[in-house]
Structure 1
Amino acid sequence: MAYKCSPVNVFLIMLLLLLLFTVHTKTTATSFTRRIQIITSNTSVIGAVMDMTSRAGKEARVAMETAIDDFNAKTSQNATLYIRNSKGNLFGAIREATYLINGYKVEAFLGLQTMEEVLSIGEIGSRYQIPTFSLLDSVPQRALDRLPFLFQASPSQFGQMKAFVAIMKSFQWNRFTFIYEDINSASSEVIHHLMETIKESGVQMNNMVKISPLASSTSLLEELERINKEQCRVFLVHASLEMGLRLFQNAKIMGMMEKGYVWITTNLITDLLHTVNPSTFSMMEGVVGIGSFFMDTGSRFNDFSTKFQTRFKLEQPKEESYMPGIFAVQAYDATWIAALALSKKNMSGQKLLDTVSSISFSGITGEVQFVDKKSTASHRFHIINVIGKYYRELGFWSEGLGFSEVVNDRANYDTSLQNLGHIFWPGRPLHTPRGWAIPTSVNPMRVGVPTMAVFKKFVEVKYDHMHHNFTCIGYSIELFKETVKRLPYYLSYEFHPFNGSYDSLVEQVYLKKFDAVVGDVSVVSKRYQYAEFTHPYTETGLMMVVPVISYHEQWLFVKPFTLGMWALTIVIYIYNGFVLWLIERKHSPELQGSALNQAGILLCLSFTRLFSLDGDQLKNNLTRMITVAWLFVAIIVGQCYTASLTSMLTVRRLAPRVADYESLKNANAVVGYGRGAHVASYLVDVLGFKNENIRGFTSPEEYAHALRNKEIAAVFLEAPFSKLFLARYCKSFMVAATFGEGGFAFLLPRGSFMVTDFTKALLNVSESGTLQTIEKRMLGSEQCVDMESDHDEYGRLGLSSFWSLFILTGSTSTIALVIHVILTLRDHFRY
C-alpha cells in the first residue's frame, strides 16, 4: 500500500527545511566572514583555554588581555586573543580547543594548567602544527619530545626543593614529613624531584602522606592524628590553597599549630597568599612559605600592575585582592612569546619551531628563553613568614648563593636562613623548634646484643634468673647509649640478647628480627650484604699475639755509653795521660826509657796512673792541676756508667717467640682465636691456615693458659681485644704482627637513614672527649702499671750529657801544656 502525504504535511516539511537552511546559511556565512577577515587583515590569532573558575585562571586571563593590548601598542602588530573557559573539565577543554581551531583558525594555544590538558591539547596542537604554550611549570621532558609543537612557557619551580633543603640545614633538622595533595599526575613529578634533591643532602623523609582533593575533614583529622603520633615535627605541604587552608584548620584543632611544630609550604600555597582574606592567616600563624620569585619593582611591573588591577577589579569585583601574582606575570610573558612567534608570517613546520626556540626577551619574570622547549628554570625563590593577620617577606634564596634579604646584593648572601632575622614559628616559641618530639606511640628499636662476647668489658649480658630479666653492660653498651643522646631526634630502643655466632647475629638485621646490633662486632666486607656499619669506634687491625722470650746481651757492658761517648772518653784519657807524661817525665825516672817503653808507659798512664799516683808523687803544680780536673771528671763519668749498667743488667730483654705467621703456617702450628668471631674465616681464607690447626677460645684466661702450655703458638685478636689482653698479661706476651681489619662499629639495616645520623653522633661523642672518658672508665682498669722500659736507645749516656766535663778536663790539660811549653822554651833560650 503506497504512503500518501497530505498537502498540509508537505507544507510543514518544506517550511522546516527552509528554516534550517536559513539558520545554517547564516551561521556558515558568519563563520566564513570571520575567517576571511582574519586571513585578509594580517592578524595573528591566539587561542587560550583555561579554568577561569580558579584564581590562577582569572589572573591569567586578565594578564593575557593586558599583554595583547601592550603588544599591539608597542610593536604596531595586530594580534587577537580568544579565551575559552574549560571550567576545570578535561573534555570541556578539548571541546573548546577544537572550537577555536575550527571556528577562529587560531595559530597558537595558551593556558593548559593541568597535566591532562597539556597532553590532550598538546596532541591536537602538534597534529595541526599549532604552537602550544603551557602555563604548567612541570611538563615532563618526554612529553615535550613526543609532541613537537608543545612548549613549557612557565619556568620550572622544582628548584624550590633545594631551597627547602637549605632551610632544613639552616636549623639542623634531619627529617621531615611530606604532605601532598594528589591533584593530578604532576604530583609524581614533584615527588621525583624532592627525592633527587634530598638524596645527597643528609636530609631524610620520615613519612609521605597523600591527600585526596575530595578528602573530608574526618579523613584529614585521621591523617593528622596518625602523623602526630610520630616524633617528626617538620612538615612540608604541597597542596592547593583550598586544601592547604583546610589542612591548617584541622591541624589547629589537633593542637599541631603550637610550639614545637614546623610547617613549610611550597609555591602552590605561597603564591596565592596575596589572595587570602587577612582573617584566614590566624590559622596559619608561624608557617614559612617558599614562593615563586619575580621582580615586583620597576617601571615595567608598576605599569602592568596598574593596568591589571583596573581591569581585574572590573571583571572580578568579588575577589579579596586585585594585586597580580606569579600566575599573572607568567601568563603576561607567555602571551608575549606567542605573539612574537606569530609576528613573523609565512612560517610553518620546523621553521616555526626554530623561531619559537630562538625567542629571547626581557619579561616581567626576567630573561625569557627556551632550553629544550622549556622556559629556563627558576633559580631564585622568596621566603615568607605568616604572622598574625599578614605575612612578611623574610628574604630570598638563590641557588649557588644562599639566603639574602636583598636580591641583587651578592655580598650579603648567607648559607643559613637564621641570619635573615627572627622567624615566628607556630606558638611563637622563644627558641627555634628542634624538629622532633617524643612520640606518643612508637615501637622501640630492637637492638641485638651478643651473649658470647669473649671480653666482657666490651659487652656482657647478665641474667637475673630470680626476676627473669637481664641487663646489658660494657663499653659498647655505654657508648651506644651516649650516641643515642646525641641524635637529632628521640630514639626509643630495647636490648635483646642473641646466643649465636656473630655472622648469624648480623643476618638477623637482614631478616628484620633486629633493627640494630651493638657489641664487639667487627666491620667485615662480607657483612655488608646484610647490613651497614657506622664509623668504627675502636682501633682497627688484627693482632698476632705470641709469648715472649728473655735474654741478656753479651756486650751489654758497652751499652751505657754511646759510640761517640766511648770515643771521646778514650781520646780525652790518652790526651790527659800524654800531657801528664810530658810534664812529669823529667822528674820521674820511671817515666823515662826507650821509645817503645815510653809509648807503653804513656798508654798505661792514660788508664791506670790516674788512680795509682797520689798528690805526693807529682812534682809539678801543672800536673797536680791536671790530675784534680781529670779525677773530678772521671769520678762523675764512672758513677753514671755504673748506674746505667746496673739498671740494664736488672732489666729483662724481651723478644717475640715467633716472628711471623708464615713460620707458624709452615711448621703446621696450632693457633687460637675468639670463638664466634669472624677471625676463623680470616685465618683460613686469607692467611691460609688449615681448619684443623685453628682453635677457638671463650675467655682471656683460656688464651693465656694455652699459650703458656704451648697448646697454641699464637692467638689472633682484634686490636681492641689485644689491647686489653696485653694490659692484663703485659710481661708474658707481645704483638708479633698486625693485619688489616675494620674495627668495631654499630650495625644498622641496609639503606637506613640512621647510619649517617649515628656516625655523626658518634663522631660528636669522640670530638667532645666523652669517648675517652667512657674508655677510661670502662676499660682503664686493665692498664698495666709495671711495663719495663726499652734501654736500647732511651737511657744510654751520650756526649750531650758530659760536654761541659770534657771541656773542663781537656781545657785544663791544654792550659797546663801551653804553660809547660812556654816555660821550657824560656829555659832553653836562657841557656
Structure 2
Amino acid sequence: INDAAQVNAVAAIVKYFRWYQVVFVYEDSDYGNGIIPYLSNAFQQVNARVSYRSVIPVSASDDFILQEMYKMKTMQTRVFVVHASRPVASRIFLKAKEAEMKKFADDNPGITPQEDINLYGLWAYDTLWALAMAAEKTGFKEPTSLPNTTSLNSTDMFITGTSQTGSKLLAAMLETKFEGLAGNFNLVNGQLESSSFHMLNVNGNSLKEVGIWKPLLQISSQRNTNLTGFVGEKLENIIWPGGSRNVPKGWEVPVSGKKLRVGVPVDIGFAEYVNVQRDPQTNATTITGYYIDLFDSVMAALPYSVRYEYAPFEKSDGSIAGSYDDLTYQVFNGEYDAAVGDITITGTRSQYVDFTLQIEEGGVTRTQRIEYENPNDLLFFFKPLKLDLWLTALAMLILTGVALWILEHRHNEDFRGSHHAGLIFYVPFTSLVFAYREKIVTNLARVVIVVWIFVVLILNSTYTASLSARLTAIKLLKVDTDVTTLIRNGDYVGCREGTYIIEFLKRLGFDESKIRTYKLPEDFDIALSKGSGNGGITAFFARTPYMELFLTRYCNKYMKVGTPYYTEGFAFAFPKGSPLVADVSRAIIKLTDNHKIAEIKERWIKQSACSEDDLPNSSSANIGLRSFTILFSATGIVTGFCLVYYMGSFFYSNKAKVKKIWNDEPKKTVWSKIGAICTFFGSPDPKYIRPDKEMTWSKFRAVCKFFYETDAKSFPRRGEDAVQVVRKNAPLRRLNSM
C-alpha cells in the first residue's frame, strides 16, 4: 500500500484529540522524504502546525540521534509522527528510551511484539489470491515462453526466455477486485487502494481496537459503519500511558523550565488593574488586580492543568524595565512564556507574539479640564443672553419708542413738548419692568405696544430663567473638541509612560516635544490643573477603561472631550505558535458567556462613586438671537406696517400743505424744505389741541410756587379731589385759565 494513503488517517487522529502542534521525525532518504509533503498538507487541513522537523540521516550515529531526542525533549510539543525504515526506526525508539522519552515503555516493560500474523501477512495472502484469480482469467493456451533468439555460440549464459502471458497476467491482476481479509483489494496505479485503518490501543500485554478510519467516514468506533449510519466522530475509551483516561493536551512545559513564566508590567498607575507590591522585609512579591484574577480564572477553565508563576517586568529598583513593546519582545526572546496586563494588540507586536481574544474593549479617549463661568464677573448678569440678542432687543426697543412717538405725537398731548425725546426710550423701556400705564390714543399705536409687551414678556421670562439656572448651577465653558486646535495652538498633551499612545499621538500630528508622559493618576491631575502655560498639559490621552477610572476619581474637575478613537483592545500575549493561545481564547469565550468576566471586573473595578451634585451641570445655556427670531420679526413687521400706514395716511391727508411748503419757498435748499416738512409733521394735530387743558412748563412752575407759599388749608382734604381745590382757590383758577 502507498504510504501516502496513511497520512489522512494520522491527521484525523490529531484532529480528533485537538492536538494543534506535531513534530515530524523521519529519515533522510527517498522513503522518508516522500511522505512529508502529503503529511504537511493533511495537517494543514486539520489546522495543526508542524512545530519542528527532525531529519535523521540513514548513516546517523547514535550520538546524533540521542542529541536530537534531547532537543525535542526541551520543546513543548509532545506529539511525534515517526516515518522511517525498520532499521532507522528501531534506533530512534532505542535512543528515545535512553533519553527517557518513552514513558509508555517504562510503564509497560512486559509488552512484547506479537508473533501472530499481522496486517502485512493479510496483505500477502490477499495478493496471492489476486494473482491466482488473474492467472485463472488469463489461462494457458499460448506457449509459456518465447523462443530463445540468442545464438548457440553466445557467451551470455544468463539470457532466458520471456513469458508471453506476463503482460496479460499483469493487466488481469490490475483489474482484479474482491473483498479480501485485509479489506477491499483494488490496485490503483500499481498500489493498493487506500482502505480502512484500524486504531489499536496498546495497554500492557493487550491490544484493543478503539475505532477505524475510512476515507469517506473518517473516524468511527463501529467496524461495519455504512454511509447512512454514520453520525459523528467517536472512539472507544482509550487508556493512555500511565493508566490515565484523560486525553493528553499534546504539549508539555519544557524540561528546562519548571513552570510557565508569566511577565507582568509594574507601575501602571491603576492598582485596580495590576498591582505589584514587594514586602521590604521578606522581599516577597505579591501581584494582584483585575487582569491577574482574570488570568487565573482563564487558566483554571482550561481542560488541563498548567503550572505557572508571575514574574514582574521590573528593574532592580522596582521600576518597569521598559516599554510594553519591550515586554512583548521579551516573550518573543523566551524570557517569558506569556505576558499578562494592559497589553494592547498592535500590528507591530503581533509580528513577535500571538495574542488571545481581547479581554478589554479598546479605544483612546481625550480628557481636559472643566472650566466654569465666574459668578463674580462684573458682566455676569449680561451672560444669560448673547450679545446679538442684547443688541437686537435694544434696537427693537428704540424702534418701538420711535414708532409710538410717530403714531401718537400728533394726537396725544403726552407725546408732545420738550420731553418727547425721553418718551421714545422711557415708554418701551419701562414696559420691561412695569405694567404699561401710558395713555394711547391711536389704534395703530395700541397694536405696536401689544406686540412689544408680548415680546417683553417672553424676553423677561427667558432672562429670569436663564439667570436663575446660572446662579444655581454654574455653567461650563465650551471646550473645543477638535484635536487640530491643540496642535495648531502648540498645546502640550500627556499620556502614560511606556505605552503605545506616544506613537498614536505622533500619528495624530503632535510633535514629540509636545508630548509629556506621566506614571500615576495624581501626576495627570497636577499637570492638567497647571495647564500648558504653567508647565502642565492641556489634554490627557489614555485607554478608555483607564479614563473611566480616572474620571471616577476626579468627578468635577475633568471631562471627556470628543469621540473616542477606535483601537484594538487588551489581550494576553504568548510566544508565536504557542498551543495555549487557542485554548486560552476558548476559555475567555466560555467565561464571557457565563458572565464570569463581568463578575470579576465588578469585584475589582467599582462603579463611579460620583453623586449628581459632584457632576458638572451643563444644562443651562445662554440664549441666542435665533430663539427670538420669530418674535422680533413679528414685532418689526407689525411696527413697520403701522408706520408705513400712518405715514401714508398723513401725507395723503396733508398733501396740499406739504406741497405748499415745498413750492412756496423755492430759494431754500432741499434740506431746508425737508426740515420744514418735518416741523409740520411734528406739530400737533389741531383736532387734538385743548389749550385750556395743556400744562406748559410756566404753568407747572406757577402751581409749584402756589403750593409752596400757601398754607396747609389749601391742600385737598380726605375725600376731596384736586378739581374742588382749584375751584376754591382763586390763584389756581387764574393759573388754569391762562
Into which bin does the TM-score normalised by the smaller protein fall? 0.5 to 0.7
The alignment status of 1:747 with 2:563, answered yes or no, reads: no
Match runs of 1:137-536 below 5 Å: 137-138=2-3, 156-169=5-18, 182=27, 185-199=30-44, 201-203=46-48, 256-257=103-104, 282=111, 324-329=121-126, 362-364=177-179, 366=184, 368=186, 370=188, 373=189, 375=191, 378=194, 380-386=196-202, 391-399=207-215, 401-404=217-220, 405-418=222-235, 421-426=236-241, 429=244, 442-494=257-309, 495-498=311-314, 499-536=321-358
**TM-score of the superposed pair, with normalisation by structure 1:** 0.48
Change (3 A) 1:780 1:186: farther
Counterpart-to-counterpart distance in 1, 2:328 and 2:352: 7
Percent of counterpart pairs with the same letter? 25
Question: Aligned letter for 1:519?
Answer: G
- Deviation, 1:741, is 1.4
* Contact 2:366 2:541 (8 Å CA) reproduced: yes
* Residue of structure 1 in register with 2:519 after alignment: 698
Q: Deviations over 1:617-676 (max 9, x none)?
A: xxxxxxxxxxxxxxxxxxxxxxxxxxxx99999667768622121222222222111121
Q: 1:328 to 1:163 in 2, by over 3 A?
A: farther
Q: Return the offset for 1:524.
A: 1.7
Amino acid at match of 1:411: T
Q: For the residues of structure 1 that align with 2:119 and 2:295, how far apart are their CA atoms?
A: 59
- Contact between 1:166 and 1:415, CA under 8 Å: does it hold in 2? no
Greater shift in the superposed pair: 728-737 or 463-472: 463-472
8 Å CA contact retained: 1:181, 1:213:
no
| SS of residue in 1 equivalent to 2:42 | helix
Structure 1 pair 766–376 and aligned structure 2 pair: CA distance change class (3 A): farther
Residue 174 of structure 1 deviates from its aligned partner by 5.2
Distance 1:284 1:791 in 2: 86
* 3-state SS in 2 of match to 1:717: strand
* CA distance in 2 between partners of 1:681 and 1:357 (Å): 75
| Distance of aligned partners of 1:682 and 1:326 in 2 relative to their CA distance in 1, 3 Å threshold | same
Match of 1:714 among 539, 564, 572: 539
Cα distance, 1:331–1:481 mapped onto 2, change above 3 Å: farther
Match of 2:155 in 1: none
Decide whether the 8 Å contact of 1:437 with 1:490 is kept in 2: no
Distance apart, 1:203 and its partner CA: 4.5
State how far apart, in whole Å, the 2-side matches of 1:340 and 1:722 are. Answer: 87
Contact 1:541 1:738 in 2 (8 A): yes
2:484 paired with 1:662? yes
**How far is 1:715 from its partner?**
1.1
- Quote the offset at 1:377 in angstroms: 5.9
Call closer, same or farther: CA 1:174–1:323 in 2, change over 3 Å: closer
Aligned counterpart in structure 2 of residue 761 of structure 1, from 566, 569, 587: 587
* C-alpha displacement of 1:386: 4.3
- Find the residue that maps to 1:417 and give its secondary structure: coil
Distance 1:691 1:167, change over 3 A: closer
Q: Deviations over 1:403-431 (max 9, x none)?
A: 3315452233244324xx44444565566
Deviation per residue, 1:457-483 (Å, 9 max, x gap) = 322332334334433332223323333
Deviates more, 1:451-460 or 1:220-229: 220-229
Q: Which of residues 599, 602, 606 in structure 2 aligns to 1:776?
A: 602
Contact 2:31 2:85 survives alignment (8 Å): no
Amino acid at match of 1:770: K
User: 1:14-25 counterparts in 2 under 5 A?
Assistant: none
Structure 1 residues not aligned, in runs of 5+: 1-134, 139-154, 264-279, 286-317, 347-351, 556-595, 604-644, 793-831
**CA gap 1:517/1:245 in 2 versus in 1, 3 angstroms:** closer
Once residues 648 and 411 of structure 1 are traced to their aligned partners in structure 2, the CA distance between those partners, rounded to angstroms, is: 80
| Counterpart residue number, 1:19 | none
Aligned residue for 1:409, secondary structure, equals coil
Q: Is contact 2:356–2:581 with CA below 8 Å preserved after alignment?
A: yes
SS at match of 2:604: helix
| Residues 735 and 215 of structure 1: CA distance in aligned 2, closer, same or farther (over 3 Å) | same
Question: Compared with structure 1, are the counterparts of its residues 224 and 748 closer, same or farther at alpha carbon in structure 2 (3 Å cutoff)?
Answer: closer
1:158 is displaced (CA, Å) by 2.0
Mind listing any 5+ residue stretches in structure 2 that lack a counterpart?
A: 147-166, 315-320, 374-379, 386-442, 451-466, 620-738
Whether the aligned pair in 2 keeps the contact of 1:546 and 1:658 (CA below 8 Å) is no
Distance in 1, Cα, partners of 2:517 & 2:101 = 60
What is the alpha-carbon distance in structure 2 between the residues aligned to residue 321 and residue 524 of structure 1? 56
AA aligned to 1:693 is K
Q: CA deviation at 1:682?
A: 1.4
Output the CA distance in 1 between the equivalents of 2:67 and 2:15.
31
What SS does structure 1 have at the residue aligned with 2:6? coil
The answer on whether the counterparts of 1:159 and 1:377 sit within 8 Å (CA) in structure 2 is no
- Which moves more between the two structures, 689-698 or 408-417? 408-417
Q: Please tell me whether the aligned partners of residues 487 and 757 of structure 1 are also in contact (alpha carbons under 8 angstroms).
A: yes
Structure 1 residue 233: Cα displacement: 6.8
Structure 1 residues 654 and 246, CA gap change in structure 2 (3 angstroms)? same
Residue 5 of structure 2 aligns to a residue in which SS?
A: coil
Letter of the 1:738 partner, please give it. P
| Other-structure match for 2:159 | none
- Give a deviation string over 1:49-92, Cα, whole Å, max 9, x none: xxxxxxxxxxxxxxxxxxxxxxxxxxxxxxxxxxxxxxxxxxxx
Corresponding residue of 1:50: none
Write the distance in 1 (CA, Å) between the matches of 2:84 and 2:55: 10
**Equivalences for 1:547-586 in 2 at 5 Å?**
547-549=369-371
CA contact (8 A) 2:355 2:571 kept: yes
Letter of the structure 2 residue corresponding to residue 163 of structure 1: A
C-alpha deviation, 1:545, in angstroms:
1.6
For residue 729 of structure 1, report the CA deviation from its aligned partner: 2.2
Q: 1:504 to 1:359 in 2, by over 3 A?
A: same
Residues 425, 544 of structure 1: alpha-carbon distance in 2 compared, 3 angstrom cutoff: same
Q: Which amino acid aligns with 1:397?
A: W
In the TM superposition, residue 760 of structure 1 has moved relative to its aligned partner by 2.7
How many equivalent pairs are there? Answer: 499
Structure 1 399/500 Cα, relative in aligned 2: closer, same or farther at 3 Å?
Answer: same
1:529-548 matched pairs, under 5 angstroms: 529-548=351-370
Whole-angstrom distance in 1 between the partners of 2:366 and 2:509: 14
Whether contact under 8 Å (1:547, 1:656) holds in the other structure is: no
Distance in 1 separating the partners of 2:192 and 2:618: 75
SS class of match (1:411)? coil
Is contact 2:174–2:187 with CA below 8 Å preserved after alignment? Answer: yes
Equivalent residue, structure 2, for 1:729: 554
Quick one: which amino acid aligns to residue 753 of structure 1? P
Indicate conservation of the 8 Å contact 2:22/2:79, yes or no.
yes
Please identify, of 332-341 and 488-497, the stretch whose mean Cα deviation from structure 2 is larger: 332-341
Deviations 1:296-344 (CA, angstroms, capped at 9, x unpaired):
xxxxxxxxxxxxxxxxxxxxxx976799523543676689899999999
Equivalent residue letter for 1:523: I
CA distance in 1: counterparts of 2:231 and 2:38, whole angstroms? 24
SS of structure 2 residue aligned to 1:159:
helix
SS of 2:210's equivalent in the other structure is strand
- Which of these two proteins has the greater Rg computed from alpha carbons? 2
Distance 1:545 1:374 in 2: 76
What CA deviation, in whole Å up to 9, does each residue of 1:740-797 have, x standing for no partner?
21122222233333333332333333333332222122222665454759998xxxxx
Residue identity in the other structure for 1:454: G
Change (3 A) 1:392 1:782: same
Q: Give matches, 1:23-62, under 5 Å.
A: none
1:775 partner amino acid: K
Cα distance in structure 2, aligned partners of 1:397 and 1:443:
38
Whether the 8 Å CA contact 2:112–2:205 is kept in 1: the answer is: no
Q: Give 1:376 shift.
A: 8.2
Whole-angstrom distance in 1 between the partners of 2:338 and 2:252? 22
Alpha-carbon distance in 1 for matches of 2:218, 2:616: 58
